[in-house]
Amino acid sequence: ANPAWLAMTGRAADEVLARDVLDIIAPDDRERVRRAWQEAATRDSTDLEFRYLRPDGVVRWVRSHASALRDAPSGALLGFVRTSVDITDSLAERAARERTHAQVRALAHRLEQLRALERAELADTLKKELYESLATLKDGLAALRAGTVAAAGADADPAHPAALARLLGQAEAAQERLRRVIFDL
């Protein structure tokens, strides 16, 4: 029970020596740690992460390594040498990083959803505005070529200036819509 370990556990040396070390481990971790330390008696060492519960109610996470201490001639287990490293701050930093990564993943997913929505809206705009404008323009030009200006909405003369002006206006409007769509892209 060195000074650094006593500070980590929030206890005094005489208090620790008077009680079972399992008593200062967080209640939810005690049985798991007890079993692991018992199993360590059959092996040379064990590594664990668990929590110390300090008297002030503060919980400190530790990474503990226990090595069996054996009698050289007989190999009998004499006890354990344990080292504990306080990993509370590291775990908090890891949790913060994981939260940040989860937020970044959520934002990336949302961005991809917005991109898909934008692509769908753009495709809809192209279909509704530009495609329909070009189809009307094509029909008007076909009507002029066939000599029936009625389909283009003008008088009987295929070279009628009003029919040509209307088709030119449709072409300019389609060109302007295309320019807006390209700008949006």
What integer pLDDT is reported at residue 144 of this predicted model?
75
Helices and strands per DSSP (H, E), number in the chain: 6, 3
- pLDDT tens-digit readout, 4-56: 889 999 999 888 887 888 889 999 999 999 898 888 778 778 899 999 999 99
53-69 pLDDT, tens digit per residue, is 999 999 999 999 988 88
Three-state DSSP class for residue 49? strand
pTM: 0.56
Contact 62, 86 (CB under 8 A): yes
d(CA 63, CA 47): 7
Element of type H or E holding 59: strand 59-70
Per residue in 117-158, pLDDT tens?
988 888 887 777 777 777 787 887 777 777 654 544 555 455
Question: Which own/partner pairs from 77-81 qualify as long-range (CB within 8 Å, at least 24 positions apart)?
Answer: 77/41, 80/37, 80/40
